[in-house]
Amino acid sequence: MTKAVELYADGLSSITIGKRLGFDNHTILGALRAQDVPIRQALGKN
């Protein structure tokens, strides 16, 4: 999931990363959290 971390750091959303890599966005978020990557707040959410 190193590629997911790189893409997320580049500003892509977990949904976009999931589509590119063939995974569900929840899988991507879980992998990012497992690597202690801070998760951004979703746009438009408070």
Domain residue spans in the chain? 2-34
State how far Cα 25 lies from the chain centre: 7
pLDDT tens for the chain, residues 1 to 46: 799 999 999 999 999 999 999 999 999 999 999 999 999 998 766 5
pLDDT of residue 46: 55
Task: State the pLDDT at residue 1.
Answer: 79
pLDDT score, position 39: 98
Closest to 34 (Cα-Cα) out of 5, 9, 3: 5
- Alpha-carbon distance 21 to 45, whole Å? 25
Reading the block at residue 7, the tokens are: 């893409």
Residue 43 is predicted with a pLDDT of: 76
**What's the whole-model pTM score?**
0.86
